[in-house]
Structure 1
Protein backbone atom coordinates (compact mmCIF):
# COMPACT_ATOMS: atom_id res chain seq x y z
CA UNK A 1 0.00 0.00 0.00
CA UNK A 2 1.47 3.41 -0.94
CA UNK A 3 2.35 5.51 2.10
CA UNK A 4 -0.11 8.38 2.61
CA UNK A 5 -1.52 10.41 5.48
CA UNK A 6 -4.70 8.32 5.11
CA UNK A 7 -2.64 5.15 5.50
CA UNK A 8 -1.08 6.51 8.68
CA UNK A 9 -4.53 7.41 10.06
CA UNK A 10 -5.89 3.95 9.30
CA UNK A 11 -2.91 2.29 10.98
CA UNK A 12 -3.29 4.45 14.11
CA UNK A 13 -6.95 3.50 14.50
CA UNK A 14 -6.23 -0.16 13.81
CA UNK A 15 -3.42 -0.20 16.38
CA UNK A 16 -5.72 1.10 19.13
CA UNK A 17 -8.48 -1.37 18.29
CA UNK A 18 -6.02 -4.27 18.06
CA UNK A 19 -4.45 -3.50 21.42
CA UNK A 20 -7.88 -3.13 23.03
CA UNK A 21 -8.73 -6.68 21.98
CA UNK A 22 -5.41 -8.07 23.19
CA UNK A 23 -5.98 -6.44 26.57
CA UNK A 24 -9.31 -8.30 27.07
CA UNK A 25 -11.07 -5.23 28.47
CA UNK A 26 -13.48 -5.27 31.41
CA UNK A 27 -15.15 -2.01 30.35
CA UNK A 28 -16.52 -0.74 27.01
CA UNK A 29 -14.04 0.78 24.60
CA UNK A 30 -13.90 4.56 24.92
CA UNK A 31 -14.42 6.69 21.79
CA UNK A 32 -11.22 6.88 19.80
CA UNK A 33 -9.43 10.20 20.39
CA UNK A 34 -9.10 12.99 17.80
CA UNK A 35 -6.36 12.17 15.34
CA UNK A 36 -7.06 8.45 15.77
CA UNK A 37 -10.80 8.12 15.16
CA UNK A 38 -11.61 7.73 11.44
CA UNK A 39 -13.34 10.82 10.10
CA UNK A 40 -15.83 9.19 7.75
CA UNK A 41 -17.04 5.81 6.50
CA UNK A 42 -14.28 5.50 3.88
CA UNK A 43 -11.67 6.08 6.57
CA UNK A 44 -13.48 3.56 8.77
CA UNK A 45 -13.19 0.87 6.10
CA UNK A 46 -9.52 1.70 5.57
CA UNK A 47 -8.92 1.24 9.30
CA UNK A 48 -10.90 -2.02 9.24
CA UNK A 49 -8.62 -3.28 6.45
CA UNK A 50 -5.57 -2.37 8.53
CA UNK A 51 -7.08 -4.20 11.53
CA UNK A 52 -7.60 -7.32 9.39
CA UNK A 53 -3.91 -7.33 8.50
CA UNK A 54 -2.95 -7.08 12.18
CA UNK A 55 -5.29 -9.97 13.02
CA UNK A 56 -3.94 -12.16 10.21
CA UNK A 57 -7.32 -12.10 8.49
CA UNK A 58 -6.40 -11.00 4.98
CA UNK A 59 -7.88 -12.26 2.81
CA UNK A 60 -10.82 -12.65 5.19
CA UNK A 61 -12.89 -15.81 5.50
CA UNK A 62 -15.88 -13.66 4.63
CA UNK A 63 -17.97 -10.68 5.68
CA UNK A 64 -20.86 -9.70 7.91
CA UNK A 65 -23.46 -7.10 7.06
CA UNK A 66 -24.89 -5.08 9.93
CA UNK A 67 -28.01 -2.94 10.05
CA UNK A 68 -29.79 -4.39 7.03
CA UNK A 69 -33.17 -3.82 8.69
CA UNK A 70 -34.75 -0.51 9.65
CA UNK A 71 -35.05 -1.63 13.26
CA UNK A 72 -31.34 -2.46 13.42
CA UNK A 73 -30.39 0.85 11.80
CA UNK A 74 -32.45 2.66 14.43
CA UNK A 75 -30.98 0.52 17.20
CA UNK A 76 -27.39 1.17 16.10
CA UNK A 77 -27.89 4.78 15.08
CA UNK A 78 -26.80 4.09 11.49
CA UNK A 79 -28.21 5.69 8.35
CA UNK A 80 -27.78 2.46 6.37
CA UNK A 81 -26.00 -0.90 6.37
CA UNK A 82 -22.37 -1.38 7.33
CA UNK A 83 -20.04 -4.32 6.69
CA UNK A 84 -17.19 -6.00 8.51
CA UNK A 85 -14.69 -8.73 7.70
CA UNK A 86 -14.95 -12.19 9.27
CA UNK A 87 -11.86 -14.12 10.36
CA UNK A 88 -11.51 -17.86 9.89
CA UNK A 89 -10.68 -18.64 13.51
CA UNK A 90 -14.05 -17.31 14.66
CA UNK A 91 -16.15 -19.63 12.46
CA UNK A 92 -17.60 -22.94 13.66
CA UNK A 93 -20.06 -25.42 12.16
CA UNK A 94 -23.28 -26.23 13.98
CA UNK A 95 -23.60 -27.51 16.67
CA UNK A 96 -20.94 -25.19 18.07
CA UNK A 97 -19.61 -24.53 21.55
CA UNK A 98 -17.82 -21.40 22.82
CA UNK A 99 -16.61 -20.27 26.24
CA UNK A 100 -18.77 -17.40 27.43
CA UNK A 101 -15.77 -15.89 29.26
CA UNK A 102 -13.91 -15.50 25.97
CA UNK A 103 -16.29 -12.70 24.89
CA UNK A 104 -16.99 -9.19 26.12
CA UNK A 105 -20.72 -8.74 26.80
CA UNK A 106 -21.74 -11.11 23.98
CA UNK A 107 -24.98 -11.22 22.08
CA UNK A 108 -26.43 -13.36 19.31
CA UNK A 109 -28.20 -12.62 16.03
CA UNK A 110 -30.45 -14.72 13.77
CA UNK A 111 -29.01 -14.62 10.25
CA UNK A 112 -29.20 -16.03 6.76
CA UNK A 113 -25.71 -16.99 5.61
CA UNK A 114 -24.19 -18.02 2.29
CA UNK A 115 -20.97 -19.18 0.66
CA UNK A 116 -19.86 -17.71 -2.64
CA UNK A 117 -19.13 -19.98 -5.58
CA UNK A 118 -17.53 -17.28 -7.73
CA UNK A 119 -15.88 -13.89 -7.27
CA UNK A 120 -17.82 -10.64 -7.19
CA UNK A 121 -15.69 -7.59 -8.11
CA UNK A 122 -16.08 -4.42 -6.04
CA UNK A 123 -18.59 -1.96 -7.42
CA UNK A 124 -22.26 -1.68 -8.39
CA UNK A 125 -23.93 -5.08 -8.52
CA UNK A 126 -27.43 -6.24 -9.45
CA UNK A 127 -29.40 -8.70 -7.37
CA UNK A 128 -29.33 -11.20 -10.27
CA UNK A 129 -25.54 -10.98 -10.56
CA UNK A 130 -25.14 -11.38 -6.81
CA UNK A 131 -27.46 -14.39 -6.68
CA UNK A 132 -25.67 -16.08 -9.58
CA UNK A 133 -22.42 -15.98 -7.58
CA UNK A 134 -23.87 -17.92 -4.61
CA UNK A 135 -23.00 -21.58 -4.11
CA UNK A 136 -24.65 -22.34 -0.74
CA UNK A 137 -27.26 -20.84 1.59
CA UNK A 138 -27.67 -21.82 5.26
CA UNK A 139 -28.94 -20.58 8.63
CA UNK A 140 -26.29 -18.82 10.73
CA UNK A 141 -25.77 -17.33 14.16
CA UNK A 142 -23.55 -14.28 14.48
CA UNK A 143 -21.93 -13.65 17.86
CA UNK A 144 -21.53 -9.95 18.50
CA UNK A 145 -20.02 -8.00 21.39
CA UNK A 146 -21.29 -4.85 23.08
CA UNK A 147 -17.83 -3.31 22.98
CA UNK A 148 -18.83 0.36 22.76
CA UNK A 149 -21.07 1.18 25.71
CA UNK A 150 -24.60 2.58 25.56
CA UNK A 151 -23.78 5.81 23.70
CA UNK A 152 -23.10 4.53 20.18
CA UNK A 153 -23.32 8.04 18.76
CA UNK A 154 -20.34 9.06 20.89
CA UNK A 155 -18.27 6.19 19.52
CA UNK A 156 -19.24 7.13 15.97
CA UNK A 157 -20.22 5.19 12.86
CA UNK A 158 -16.75 5.30 11.23
CA UNK A 159 -15.20 3.80 14.36
CA UNK A 160 -17.91 1.11 14.51
CA UNK A 161 -17.00 0.21 10.94
CA UNK A 162 -13.30 0.12 11.78
CA UNK A 163 -14.02 -2.36 14.59
CA UNK A 164 -15.99 -4.85 12.41
CA UNK A 165 -19.43 -3.51 13.43
CA UNK A 166 -19.74 -5.57 16.66
CA UNK A 167 -18.60 -8.85 15.03
CA UNK A 168 -16.90 -11.48 17.19
CA UNK A 169 -17.59 -14.98 15.77
CA UNK A 170 -20.20 -17.06 13.99
CA UNK A 171 -21.89 -20.44 13.64
CA UNK A 172 -22.67 -21.88 10.20
CA UNK A 173 -25.61 -24.20 9.66
CA UNK A 174 -25.71 -26.98 7.08
CA UNK A 175 -26.27 -25.82 3.48
CA UNK A 176 -29.79 -26.47 2.25
CA UNK A 177 -30.19 -28.49 -0.97
CA UNK A 178 -31.88 -26.71 -3.87
CA UNK A 179 -32.00 -23.35 -2.11
CA UNK A 180 -32.87 -21.61 -5.37
CA UNK A 181 -36.33 -23.18 -5.20
CA UNK A 182 -37.02 -21.37 -1.89
CA UNK A 183 -38.58 -17.95 -1.48
CA UNK A 184 -35.79 -16.48 0.64
CA UNK A 185 -37.67 -13.23 1.07
CA UNK A 186 -40.66 -15.00 2.64
CA UNK A 187 -38.73 -17.41 4.86
CA UNK A 188 -39.28 -16.73 8.56
CA UNK A 189 -36.46 -16.99 11.07
CA UNK A 190 -36.81 -17.49 14.83
CA UNK A 191 -34.32 -17.44 17.68
CA UNK A 192 -34.50 -19.19 21.04
CA UNK A 193 -32.21 -18.50 24.01
CA UNK A 194 -32.36 -21.05 26.82
CA UNK A 195 -35.41 -22.56 25.05
CA UNK A 196 -37.36 -19.28 25.18
CA UNK A 197 -38.40 -17.66 21.89
CA UNK A 198 -36.68 -14.27 21.83
CA UNK A 199 -37.19 -12.91 18.31
CA UNK A 200 -38.37 -13.56 14.78
CA UNK A 201 -38.31 -11.92 11.36
CA UNK A 202 -38.29 -12.59 7.62
CA UNK A 203 -35.74 -12.71 4.84
CA UNK A 204 -37.42 -9.70 3.23
CA UNK A 205 -36.36 -7.63 6.25
CA UNK A 206 -32.81 -7.70 4.81
CA UNK A 207 -32.95 -4.75 2.40
CA UNK A 208 -36.09 -6.25 0.84
CA UNK A 209 -34.46 -9.61 0.00
CA UNK A 210 -31.32 -11.42 1.20
CA UNK A 211 -29.73 -11.21 -2.25
CA UNK A 212 -30.23 -7.45 -2.28
CA UNK A 213 -28.06 -7.43 0.85
CA UNK A 214 -25.35 -9.37 -0.99
CA UNK A 215 -25.54 -6.95 -3.93
CA UNK A 216 -25.15 -4.07 -1.46
CA UNK A 217 -22.06 -5.74 0.03
CA UNK A 218 -20.42 -6.05 -3.39
CA UNK A 219 -20.70 -2.29 -3.81
CA UNK A 220 -19.71 -1.42 -0.25
CA UNK A 221 -16.59 0.18 1.17
CA UNK A 222 -15.62 -3.18 2.65
CA UNK A 223 -15.59 -4.83 -0.79
CA UNK A 224 -13.56 -1.92 -2.14
CA UNK A 225 -10.76 -2.08 0.44
CA UNK A 226 -10.54 -5.88 0.39
CA UNK A 227 -10.51 -6.08 -3.42
CA UNK A 228 -13.96 -7.57 -3.88
CA UNK A 229 -15.67 -10.73 -2.69
CA UNK A 230 -14.01 -14.09 -3.38
CA UNK A 231 -15.25 -17.59 -4.15
CA UNK A 232 -15.31 -19.65 -0.96
CA UNK A 233 -15.96 -16.70 1.36
CA UNK A 234 -18.98 -16.80 3.66
CA UNK A 235 -21.34 -13.88 4.17
CA UNK A 236 -23.62 -13.19 7.13
CA UNK A 237 -26.38 -11.26 5.38
CA UNK A 238 -27.78 -9.53 8.45
CA UNK A 239 -30.00 -10.32 11.41
CA UNK A 240 -33.76 -10.59 11.06
CA UNK A 241 -34.02 -9.85 14.80
CA UNK A 242 -32.35 -7.31 17.09
CA UNK A 243 -29.35 -8.73 18.98
CA UNK A 244 -30.14 -10.65 22.14
CA UNK A 245 -27.55 -9.75 24.78
CA UNK A 246 -26.66 -12.67 27.02
CA UNK A 247 -26.20 -12.75 30.79
CA UNK A 248 -24.16 -15.95 31.02
CA UNK A 249 -23.70 -19.47 29.65
CA UNK A 250 -26.76 -20.71 27.77
CA UNK A 251 -28.01 -22.44 24.65
CA UNK A 252 -29.00 -20.63 21.45
CA UNK A 253 -30.97 -22.03 18.52
CA UNK A 254 -32.14 -20.39 15.32
CA UNK A 255 -34.39 -21.86 12.63
CA UNK A 256 -35.55 -20.60 9.24
CA UNK A 257 -38.45 -22.12 7.33
CA UNK A 258 -36.95 -24.21 4.55
CA UNK A 259 -33.34 -23.56 5.66
CA UNK A 260 -33.11 -25.60 8.85
CA UNK A 261 -31.45 -24.86 12.17
CA UNK A 262 -28.16 -23.83 13.77
CA UNK A 263 -27.25 -24.45 17.41
CA UNK A 264 -24.79 -22.82 19.77
CA UNK A 265 -23.88 -23.52 23.38
CA UNK A 266 -22.00 -21.11 25.62
CA UNK A 267 -20.24 -22.84 28.51
Structure 2
Protein backbone atom coordinates (compact mmCIF):
# COMPACT_ATOMS: atom_id res chain seq x y z
CA UNK A 1 0.00 0.00 0.00
CA UNK A 2 1.35 3.41 -0.96
CA UNK A 3 2.42 5.45 2.05
CA UNK A 4 1.05 8.98 2.33
CA UNK A 5 0.11 11.61 4.85
CA UNK A 6 -3.42 12.99 5.19
CA UNK A 7 -3.83 16.70 4.40
CA UNK A 8 -3.38 18.91 7.43
CA UNK A 9 -6.54 20.35 8.91
CA UNK A 10 -6.42 24.13 8.78
CA UNK A 11 -6.06 25.89 12.10
CA UNK A 12 -9.18 27.36 13.64
CA UNK A 13 -9.68 31.01 12.76
CA UNK A 14 -12.51 31.76 15.15
CA UNK A 15 -16.16 32.65 14.89
CA UNK A 16 -17.65 35.90 13.65
CA UNK A 17 -21.31 35.00 14.31
CA UNK A 18 -22.83 35.15 17.79
CA UNK A 19 -24.85 32.35 19.35
CA UNK A 20 -28.14 33.94 18.32
CA UNK A 21 -27.14 33.94 14.64
CA UNK A 22 -25.87 30.36 14.88
CA UNK A 23 -29.19 29.23 16.38
CA UNK A 24 -31.18 31.16 13.78
CA UNK A 25 -29.25 29.56 10.93
CA UNK A 26 -29.66 26.07 12.39
CA UNK A 27 -33.40 26.63 12.88
CA UNK A 28 -33.72 27.82 9.29
CA UNK A 29 -32.05 24.62 8.06
CA UNK A 30 -34.37 22.50 10.19
CA UNK A 31 -37.42 24.30 8.82
CA UNK A 32 -36.13 23.93 5.25
CA UNK A 33 -35.79 20.19 5.72
CA UNK A 34 -39.22 19.92 7.33
CA UNK A 35 -41.01 22.02 4.69
CA UNK A 36 -38.87 20.82 1.74
CA UNK A 37 -38.33 24.49 0.82
CA UNK A 38 -34.74 25.62 0.39
CA UNK A 39 -33.39 28.76 2.02
CA UNK A 40 -31.02 31.26 0.41
CA UNK A 41 -27.27 31.02 0.89
CA UNK A 42 -26.16 31.53 4.48
CA UNK A 43 -22.99 33.09 3.05
CA UNK A 44 -25.23 35.84 1.64
CA UNK A 45 -27.34 36.20 4.79
CA UNK A 46 -24.16 36.27 6.92
CA UNK A 47 -21.33 37.60 4.69
CA UNK A 48 -18.88 37.47 7.60
CA UNK A 49 -19.34 33.71 8.13
CA UNK A 50 -16.17 31.67 8.75
CA UNK A 51 -15.49 27.94 8.61
CA UNK A 52 -15.74 27.79 12.39
CA UNK A 53 -19.15 29.45 12.16
CA UNK A 54 -20.24 26.91 9.55
CA UNK A 55 -19.25 23.96 11.71
CA UNK A 56 -20.93 25.63 14.71
CA UNK A 57 -24.16 25.88 12.69
CA UNK A 58 -23.84 22.22 11.71
CA UNK A 59 -23.23 21.21 15.34
CA UNK A 60 -26.19 23.29 16.54
CA UNK A 61 -28.53 21.78 13.94
CA UNK A 62 -27.41 18.22 14.64
CA UNK A 63 -27.71 18.93 18.36
CA UNK A 64 -31.34 19.88 17.82
CA UNK A 65 -31.93 16.56 16.07
CA UNK A 66 -30.20 14.51 18.77
CA UNK A 67 -32.21 16.33 21.44
CA UNK A 68 -35.41 15.31 19.64
CA UNK A 69 -34.45 11.63 19.79
CA UNK A 70 -32.38 11.12 16.63
CA UNK A 71 -29.39 8.75 16.94
CA UNK A 72 -25.86 9.34 15.68
CA UNK A 73 -24.81 6.80 13.02
CA UNK A 74 -21.43 8.16 11.96
CA UNK A 75 -19.75 10.74 9.73
CA UNK A 76 -19.34 11.64 6.08
CA UNK A 77 -16.42 13.24 4.31
CA UNK A 78 -16.84 15.51 1.30
CA UNK A 79 -14.73 17.59 -1.08
CA UNK A 80 -12.04 14.93 -1.26
CA UNK A 81 -11.38 15.23 -4.99
CA UNK A 82 -9.29 17.96 -6.63
CA UNK A 83 -12.13 18.83 -9.00
CA UNK A 84 -14.63 19.41 -6.19
CA UNK A 85 -12.11 21.37 -4.10
CA UNK A 86 -11.35 23.64 -7.06
CA UNK A 87 -15.07 24.23 -7.59
CA UNK A 88 -15.41 25.84 -4.13
CA UNK A 89 -11.88 27.33 -3.91
CA UNK A 90 -10.73 25.34 -0.89
CA UNK A 91 -7.88 22.87 -0.58
CA UNK A 92 -9.13 20.62 2.22
CA UNK A 93 -12.13 18.29 2.57
CA UNK A 94 -15.16 18.95 4.75
CA UNK A 95 -17.32 16.68 6.89
CA UNK A 96 -20.87 16.10 8.05
CA UNK A 97 -22.90 13.89 10.38
CA UNK A 98 -24.79 10.68 9.63
CA UNK A 99 -27.97 9.96 11.61
CA UNK A 100 -29.75 6.62 11.86
CA UNK A 101 -32.80 8.16 10.17
CA UNK A 102 -30.60 8.66 7.09
CA UNK A 103 -29.82 4.94 6.76
CA UNK A 104 -31.61 3.03 3.97
CA UNK A 105 -31.36 -0.71 3.23
CA UNK A 106 -29.75 -1.92 0.04
CA UNK A 107 -32.39 -1.78 -2.72
CA UNK A 108 -34.53 0.71 -0.79
CA UNK A 109 -37.52 2.32 -2.48
CA UNK A 110 -37.56 5.99 -1.48
CA UNK A 111 -40.95 7.67 -1.39
CA UNK A 112 -41.68 10.99 -3.12
CA UNK A 113 -41.05 14.04 -0.97
CA UNK A 114 -38.44 12.39 1.26
CA UNK A 115 -35.77 14.70 -0.18
CA UNK A 116 -35.69 18.10 -1.85
CA UNK A 117 -33.15 17.66 -4.69
CA UNK A 118 -31.55 14.23 -4.20
CA UNK A 119 -28.34 13.31 -5.97
CA UNK A 120 -26.24 10.17 -5.67
CA UNK A 121 -22.54 9.62 -5.07
CA UNK A 122 -20.56 6.36 -4.88
CA UNK A 123 -17.98 5.70 -2.20
CA UNK A 124 -16.39 3.23 0.19
CA UNK A 125 -17.91 3.00 3.67
CA UNK A 126 -15.95 2.02 6.78
CA UNK A 127 -17.67 0.58 9.84
CA UNK A 128 -15.51 0.90 12.92
CA UNK A 129 -14.71 -1.60 15.68
CA UNK A 130 -12.88 0.95 17.81
CA UNK A 131 -12.35 4.69 18.28
CA UNK A 132 -9.91 6.86 16.34
CA UNK A 133 -8.07 9.78 17.89
CA UNK A 134 -6.95 12.94 16.11
CA UNK A 135 -3.46 11.54 15.62
CA UNK A 136 -4.73 8.49 13.69
CA UNK A 137 -2.56 7.07 10.91
CA UNK A 138 -3.58 4.88 7.99
CA UNK A 139 -2.45 1.88 10.04
CA UNK A 140 -4.67 3.03 12.92
CA UNK A 141 -7.63 3.29 10.54
CA UNK A 142 -7.07 -0.27 9.33
CA UNK A 143 -6.79 -1.56 12.89
CA UNK A 144 -9.99 0.23 13.97
CA UNK A 145 -12.08 -0.93 10.98
CA UNK A 146 -14.54 -3.79 11.47
CA UNK A 147 -15.53 -4.01 7.82
CA UNK A 148 -15.83 -1.97 4.65
CA UNK A 149 -18.73 -1.89 2.18
CA UNK A 150 -19.77 -0.35 -1.12
CA UNK A 151 -22.02 2.63 -0.52
CA UNK A 152 -24.24 5.18 -2.16
CA UNK A 153 -24.62 8.54 -0.49
CA UNK A 154 -27.83 10.48 -1.07
CA UNK A 155 -27.00 14.16 -1.21
CA UNK A 156 -29.64 16.75 -0.47
CA UNK A 157 -29.46 20.51 -0.06
CA UNK A 158 -31.54 22.53 2.34
CA UNK A 159 -29.69 25.61 1.06
CA UNK A 160 -30.21 26.60 -2.59
CA UNK A 161 -27.35 25.71 -4.92
CA UNK A 162 -27.64 29.22 -6.39
CA UNK A 163 -28.88 32.17 -4.34
CA UNK A 164 -32.34 33.20 -5.62
CA UNK A 165 -31.63 36.89 -4.99
CA UNK A 166 -28.02 37.35 -6.12
CA UNK A 167 -27.42 34.34 -8.35
CA UNK A 168 -24.24 33.48 -6.46
CA UNK A 169 -23.28 29.82 -6.06
CA UNK A 170 -22.93 27.96 -2.78
CA UNK A 171 -19.63 28.34 -0.95
CA UNK A 172 -17.93 25.79 1.27
CA UNK A 173 -19.43 27.61 4.27
CA UNK A 174 -22.93 26.93 2.96
CA UNK A 175 -22.09 23.29 2.31
CA UNK A 176 -20.60 22.73 5.77
CA UNK A 177 -23.52 24.47 7.49
CA UNK A 178 -25.87 22.25 5.46
CA UNK A 179 -24.28 19.15 7.02
CA UNK A 180 -21.99 18.72 4.00
CA UNK A 181 -25.16 18.25 1.89
CA UNK A 182 -25.85 14.86 3.41
CA UNK A 183 -29.32 13.40 3.15
CA UNK A 184 -28.98 9.62 3.42
CA UNK A 185 -26.84 6.58 2.74
CA UNK A 186 -27.19 3.02 1.49
CA UNK A 187 -24.67 0.30 2.37
CA UNK A 188 -23.97 -2.87 0.43
CA UNK A 189 -22.78 -6.14 1.95
CA UNK A 190 -19.92 -6.14 4.44
CA UNK A 191 -16.41 -7.01 3.26
CA UNK A 192 -14.36 -8.26 6.20
CA UNK A 193 -11.26 -9.53 4.36
CA UNK A 194 -9.54 -6.28 3.39
CA UNK A 195 -6.16 -6.31 5.17
CA UNK A 196 -4.17 -6.84 1.96
CA UNK A 197 -6.49 -4.87 -0.31
CA UNK A 198 -5.17 -1.86 -2.22
CA UNK A 199 -8.21 0.33 -1.72
CA UNK A 200 -7.08 2.83 -4.34
CA UNK A 201 -8.23 0.38 -7.01
CA UNK A 202 -11.75 -0.11 -5.71
CA UNK A 203 -14.16 1.44 -8.17
CA UNK A 204 -17.70 1.52 -9.42
CA UNK A 205 -19.84 1.77 -12.52
CA UNK A 206 -22.89 3.79 -11.53
CA UNK A 207 -26.02 3.57 -13.67
CA UNK A 208 -29.39 5.27 -13.70
CA UNK A 209 -32.17 3.15 -15.21
CA UNK A 210 -29.64 0.85 -16.82
CA UNK A 211 -27.60 3.62 -18.46
CA UNK A 212 -24.06 4.25 -17.24
CA UNK A 213 -23.81 7.77 -15.80
CA UNK A 214 -20.47 7.76 -13.99
CA UNK A 215 -17.44 5.58 -13.33
CA UNK A 216 -14.53 6.10 -10.97
CA UNK A 217 -11.77 4.72 -8.75
CA UNK A 218 -11.40 5.38 -5.04
CA UNK A 219 -7.89 6.72 -5.65
CA UNK A 220 -9.77 9.94 -6.38
CA UNK A 221 -10.44 10.19 -2.64
CA UNK A 222 -7.20 11.77 -1.34
CA UNK A 223 -5.31 9.01 -3.22
CA UNK A 224 -6.76 6.40 -0.84
CA UNK A 225 -10.00 6.32 1.21
CA UNK A 226 -7.93 5.27 4.23
CA UNK A 227 -6.29 8.70 4.06
CA UNK A 228 -9.71 10.29 4.05
CA UNK A 229 -10.72 8.55 7.29
CA UNK A 230 -7.43 9.56 8.93
CA UNK A 231 -8.10 13.16 7.90
CA UNK A 232 -11.59 12.96 9.40
CA UNK A 233 -10.21 11.79 12.75
CA UNK A 234 -7.96 14.84 12.79
CA UNK A 235 -10.72 17.26 11.83
CA UNK A 236 -13.17 15.90 14.38
CA UNK A 237 -10.58 16.29 17.13
CA UNK A 238 -10.21 19.96 16.17
CA UNK A 239 -13.88 20.50 17.03
CA UNK A 240 -14.07 18.23 20.07
CA UNK A 241 -15.51 15.09 18.43
CA UNK A 242 -14.19 11.58 17.83
CA UNK A 243 -14.86 8.56 15.64
CA UNK A 244 -16.33 5.82 17.85
CA UNK A 245 -16.81 2.07 17.59
CA UNK A 246 -19.86 1.07 15.56
CA UNK A 247 -19.97 4.26 13.55
CA UNK A 248 -20.26 4.35 9.76
CA UNK A 249 -17.77 6.54 7.89
CA UNK A 250 -18.49 7.54 4.29
CA UNK A 251 -14.99 8.20 2.99
CA UNK A 252 -15.84 10.48 0.07
CA UNK A 253 -17.19 10.16 -3.44
CA UNK A 254 -15.06 9.26 -6.44
CA UNK A 255 -17.75 10.20 -8.98
CA UNK A 256 -19.62 13.38 -9.79
CA UNK A 257 -23.14 13.55 -8.28
CA UNK A 258 -25.94 11.93 -10.30
CA UNK A 259 -29.39 13.51 -10.24
CA UNK A 260 -31.90 11.09 -8.67
CA UNK A 261 -34.95 12.03 -10.69
CA UNK A 262 -38.39 10.65 -9.72
CA UNK A 263 -39.00 7.16 -11.05
CA UNK A 264 -35.29 6.35 -11.40
CA UNK A 265 -33.23 3.46 -10.09
CA UNK A 266 -29.56 4.03 -9.24
CA UNK A 267 -27.20 1.05 -9.17
CA UNK A 268 -23.59 1.07 -8.08
CA UNK A 269 -21.72 -1.90 -9.54
CA UNK A 270 -18.48 -2.28 -7.58
CA UNK A 271 -17.55 -5.52 -9.36
CA UNK A 272 -16.35 -8.26 -7.03
CA UNK A 273 -16.69 -5.79 -4.15
CA UNK A 274 -20.48 -5.88 -4.45
CA UNK A 275 -23.56 -4.00 -5.65
CA UNK A 276 -25.66 -1.34 -3.98
CA UNK A 277 -28.82 0.34 -5.24
CA UNK A 278 -31.86 2.45 -4.44
CA UNK A 279 -35.03 3.53 -6.27
CA UNK A 280 -36.87 6.85 -6.22
CA UNK A 281 -40.64 6.70 -6.71
- When normalised by structure 2's length, the TM-score is 0.84
Looking at structure 2, the residues matched to 35 and 101 of structure 1 have their Cα atoms a distance apart, in angstroms, of 27
Q: CA deviation at 1:255?
A: 2.1
After alignment, is 12-21 or 75-84 more displaced? Answer: 75-84
Looking at structure 2, the residues matched to 126 and 112 of structure 1 have their Cα atoms a distance apart, in angstroms, of 18
Q: 2:31 aligns with which of 1, 19, 27?
A: 19
Q: CA deviation at 1:6?
A: 4.6
Q: CA deviation at 1:8?
A: 3.8
Looking at structure 2, the residues matched to 37 and 6 of structure 1 have their Cα atoms a distance apart, in angstroms, of 13
Matched, 1:65 2:77: yes
State whether residues 129 and 246 of structure 2, in contact with CA within 8 Å, keep that contact through their aligned partners in structure 1: yes
Q: CA deviation at 1:153?
A: 5.8
Matched, 1:197 2:212: yes
Residues 50-85 of structure 1: CA distance to partner in whole angstroms, max 9, x if unpaired? 110112277621111111111222345543211000
SS at match of 1:249: coil
CA shift in 2, pair 1:245/1:34, >3 Å: closer
Residue 254 of structure 1 is matched in structure 2 by 268
- What does 1:147-226 correspond to in 2, within 5 Å? 147-150=159-162, 154-220=169-235, 222-225=236-239
After alignment, is 53-62 or 80-89 more displaced? Answer: 53-62
Q: 1:238 aligns with which of 226, 248, 252?
A: 252
Looking at structure 2, the residues matched to 261 and 38 of structure 1 have their Cα atoms a distance apart, in angstroms, of 44
Residue 50 of structure 2 is matched in structure 1 by 40
Q: CA deviation at 1:246?
A: 2.7
After alignment, is 244-253 or 200-209 more displaced? Answer: 244-253
Point out 4+ residue stretches in structure 1 off by more than 6 angstroms.
Answer: none
After alignment, is 100-109 or 54-63 more displaced? Answer: 54-63
Residue 53 of structure 1 is matched in structure 2 by 63
Q: CA deviation at 1:182?
A: 2.0
State whether residues 70 and 100 of structure 2, in contact with CA within 8 Å, keep that contact through their aligned partners in structure 1: no
Count of aligned pairs: 260
CA shift in 2, pair 1:155/1:186, >3 Å: closer
Looking at structure 2, the residues matched to 109 and 240 of structure 1 have their Cα atoms a distance apart, in angstroms, of 8
Question: Unpaired runs of 5+ in structure 2?
Answer: 1-16
Q: 2:147 aligns with which of 114, 136, 143?
A: 136
- When normalised by structure 1's length, the TM-score is 0.88
Looking at structure 2, the residues matched to 87 and 33 of structure 1 have their Cα atoms a distance apart, in angstroms, of 25
Matched, 1:79 2:96: no
CA shift in 2, pair 1:53/1:74, >3 Å: same
State whether residues 214 and 256 of structure 2, in contact with CA within 8 Å, keep that contact through their aligned partners in structure 1: yes
